[in-house]
Amino acid sequence: MSIRHYTPRRRARGGASPLLIKVMGVALGLAILMQIAYPLVEGTALQVITVASVYLAALAMFLHGVASYGARYGWSLLGITLAFGFLIEQIGVTTSWPFGEYTYSSTLGAKLLSVPLVVPFAWVMIAHPCLVAARRIGKSWVFLYGALLMTAWDLFLDPLMVSDGRWTWVVTGAHVPFQPEIPLSNTFGWLLSTMALMTILHFATPRDRRKVGGSLIAADVLLFWTWFSGVVGNLFFFGRPGIALFSGAILGVLLVPYFFNRWVGRP
């Protein structure tokens, strides 16, 4: 009788590269630093910061997805969200559905058809941390909680970009509270489209975290920073206290159960 030496197969989801985690941290840190500098610069520098910060944040969230859930999650997230974001934005610009009538300016860089290339990457930047939070809290309601988070995020993003001329709306009816330049249809369009995106991502991407490199801190940081910078920026730099209080209250209320669960609830 012979004794065969058995070497167990390496777990593909066992751990993430330390280099990948470092690059993720650098990308996220640079994105946040650029957003801090946003109200302090103007002209070409502001345009560069606007576009670069989105690409860096999207890169950080893609790498965080790989580090936390594995390569299949990261690439699935990237491919699905880029395709969905581009398609829904192209439909929106062309038909005015589901967001309302709007057009993009040339200040966001190169376009594919009518959509700036940076815009689908903004969807990646927003979708990943919202999906992480929704899976932690939503259970059977991942699609709704994630969509509400993404829509609340947009309540900060849209007025900032519109005020800087990145895109322009035609407002003929009701508008978002404290945002007369943005139609209420945009909020409903975001909620509808993000429910679809969250549903697709939830069922199409892995849900189990890796043993090593699986920390959710990068997603936590971006979620908290979005709320904090939105409130502080609108209060003290952009002169829009209504947006700070209205959008800040909505996103803040939505984030409370997630952060409570993360730091006080189950491990």
Yes or no: say if 85 and 119 are a contact pair by the CB < 8 Å rule. Answer: yes
Sign of CA pseudo-dihedral 39, 167, 156, 259 = negative
Neighbour tally for 123: CB within 10 Å: 24
- Entry field: residues in the chain: 267
Give pTM, 2 decimals.
0.93
Neighbour tally for 12: CB within 10 Å: 10
Please report, to the nearest 10 degrees, the dihedral formed by the alpha carbons of residues 192, 197, 203, 208 taken in order: -120
Yes or no: say if 22 and 67 are a contact pair by the CB < 8 Å rule. Answer: no
**Tokens standing for residue 221:** 């940081």
Q: Give the position of tokens 């939503």.
A: 138
Specify the pLDDT at position 168.
Answer: 97
The answer to which of 15-19, 124-128, 254-258 has the lowest mean pLDDT is: 15-19
Specify the pLDDT at position 266.
Answer: 58
CA 88 to chain centre: 16
| CA distances in angstroms from 33 to 6, 156, 164, 194, 230, listed in the order given | 50, 18, 19, 28, 14
Average pLDDT over residues 193-219: 92
Specify the pLDDT at position 13.
Answer: 53
Specify the pLDDT at position 209.
Answer: 87
Distance CA 89, CA 124 (A): 13
Distance CA 41, CA 67 (A): 34
Left (φ > 0), alpha (ψ -120 to 50) or beta: where does 109 sit?
left
Confidence of residue 12 (pLDDT cuts 50, 70, 90): very low
Average pLDDT over residues 217-226: 97
Specify the pLDDT at position 15.
Answer: 73
Distance CA 148, CA 150 (A): 6
Yes or no: say if 51 and 108 are a contact pair by the CB < 8 Å rule. Answer: yes
Specify the pLDDT at position 46.
Answer: 96
Average pLDDT over residues 97-105: 97
Specify the pLDDT at position 17.
Answer: 87
The answer to which of 18-27, 149-158, 257-266 has the lowest mean pLDDT is: 257-266
